[in-house]
Structure 1
Amino acid sequence: MSLTYTNYLKINELLELQQLKSDPPEHDETLFIIIHQTYELWFKQILHEFGKLRKNLEDGNTWASLKTLRRVLTILKTMVSQIDILETMTPLEFNSFRKFLGQSSGFQSLQFREMEIICGLRFPLMKEAHKDQPQHIKVLEQRMEESTLWESFCAFLRSHGYDIHPERDNEKGLVHEPSEEIQDILVEAMKNDPEAALIAELFVDYDEGLQEWRYRHVKMVERTIGTKQGTGGSDGAKYLHKTLNNPIFPDLWAIRSKF
């Protein structure tokens, strides 16, 4: 069989993946499934780009790092904008099939946890949602052994002559706590190294974009289910509120007041 658009992209298989649980079928469940499947595809692409980005940074390759970061930022903006589509579904429409979702929850997204880990986040709940899936726990633990984005950025700075060595010292939040010593080095780099400054600002863009994603996500949950408990047993919007306004690169935010 010759290669065609349909068999190359597995279109037939793809279109069979939206399998509704509601009985009788509820119209808006199709949208709900497609949106979340699309998110998982974007998570996969971001993880793919993170692998390249870390290597680019550790190799001291400025322009490849910039290009990869810009792609990740564009994907993140697309993810945020998809919430607009999901918000066309009213609370009544969502609740027409919510009871059929059982214990499934976005809280259980393995790939999003992988993204958080690479960003430097560590907290016990990361494994809790996957405690009955040892293969998922293995993936998370393997990710925790990999370099974080911050460690890769610091490797980039070392390739530019800066003596910067972040330490891992926290398993209850960010593994890289803010450091006055590192902030002084960052101020010097921002003032004297245009390439390092460009990458640092894109890291801030990513951090801000991730916070925007979290904010839009929590507001979407609030307008859809209010203060109800999440389907997977999480605290729903209450839990999501705790994730707001927590930067993953706090040193890059702290130096704003040092210029």
Structure 2
Amino acid sequence: MRHVSPDRGAQQAPESFVSFGEQGAQLTYGSYLRLPQLLDAQHLESDPPAHDELLFITIHQVYELWFQQLLHEVVAARDAMTAGRLWWAQHLLQRVHVIERVLVQQVDVLETMTPQDFLEFRQRLAPASGFQSVQFRELEFLSGAKDPAYVERFRGLTAEERVRLDRRLEEPSLWDAFVQVLADAGLPSSDDGQVAASLRQVAHDRSTHAGVWALAEALLQHDELAASWRARHVVMVERMIGVKSGTGGSSGAGYLRSRLPLQYYPLLWELRSQL
């Protein structure tokens, strides 16, 4: 057996061993994630500082980060359907579902704040309101619930935000892309009646239309989870402020309850009654 002296092995180690990511030391965890900027984005309005205002800001900033990710995934899923990459679209929509479940669960964290704690700083929020979340409205438009009147009702909309919302109103939605999928599969899709008939055909012959059926179910799941978030949100608002008006001037929980019947894909829901 050949003997290697300890000294020789020690001399070779520095030459052959390289620590992962240390070459040049130009990128760090903090610089990659822009942590100094990110962690300096929570500025309290209350004076003296209310303890739970940091929680309130953090939760809503995290929501906006998830909305950004959802927009990224939804646009990619729509484009994948348009390009005929059904498996990729379904994969992306499954990711959307997981994120939407996280959105619902985040309400539990916000509800650790009591109404009394919220009232310590709520008056400082006006006229800001969750109604003004441009990304959330972009998600609704992209999902298929396009409401041009929302843009007109929006107070404090910047020129850049107006352009974004107008673009979302004009560009194809997830539903538009799915109707194209039906057409590409040779299924009639010129109007709602034809789409409904094609959906019944797909549902009754899933072996032939497996990819189309899987996408239809993925879209319905997206619709259901969005409804779950709206329902969870309105109950949280009622628990926090009762029937008070929203800080942005809306009717608060009353407005949110009026949004509960919203369905992105009513034809997919009606299909259940026709099977």
- 1:219 matched to 2:235: yes
**Which residue of structure 1 aligns with residue 265 of structure 2?**
249
Q: 1:191 aligns with which of 183, 188, 204?
A: 204
**Contact 2:179–2:195 (8 Å) recurs in 1:** no
Note the alpha carbon deviations across 1:211-249, whole angstroms, 9 max, x for none.
000000000000001100000111100000010022110
Distance 1:39 1:33, change over 3 A: same
Q: For 2:120, what is the secondary structure of its paired residue?
A: helix
TM-score normalised per structure 2: 0.87
- 1:164 matched to 2:189: yes
Equivalent AA in structure 2 for residue 136 of structure 1: E
Q: Which has the greater radius of gyration?
A: 2
Note the alpha carbon deviations across 1:107-126, whole angstroms, 9 max, x for none.
00010111111122233134
TM-score normalised per structure 1: 0.92
C-alpha distance in structure 1 between counterparts of 2:112 and 2:268, whole Å: 36
C-alpha distance in structure 2 between counterparts of 1:210 and 1:127, whole Å: 23
Q: Percent same amino acid among aligned pairs? A: 42
Equivalent AA in structure 1 for residue 198 of structure 2: I
Aligned pairs for 1:111-190 within 5 A? 111-123=135-147, 124-130=149-155, 132-166=157-191, 179-190=192-203
**Which residue of structure 1 aligns with residue 13 of structure 2?**
none
Question: What is the aligned residue count?
Answer: 247
Offset at residue 132 of structure 1 (A): 4.7
Q: For 2:245, what is the secondary structure of its paired residue?
A: coil
The alignment yields a C-alpha RMSD, in angstroms, of 1.3
Equivalent AA in structure 2 for residue 257 of structure 1: S
Offset at residue 135 of structure 1 (A): 2.4
Aligned pairs for 1:36-47 within 5 A? 36-47=60-71
After TM superposition, the runs of 4+ consecutive aligned structure 1 residues lying more than 6 A away are none
C-alpha distance in structure 1 between counterparts of 2:30 and 2:157, whole Å: 36
Unaligned runs of 5+ in 2: 1-24
C-alpha distance in structure 1 between counterparts of 2:146 and 2:140, whole Å: 8
Q: For 1:84, what is the secondary structure of its paired residue?
A: helix
**Contact 2:115–2:239 (8 Å) recurs in 1:** yes
Distance 1:9 1:54, change over 3 A: same
Q: For 1:19, what is the secondary structure of its paired residue?
A: coil
Equivalent AA in structure 2 for residue 88 of structure 1: T
Unaligned runs of 5+ in 1: 167-178
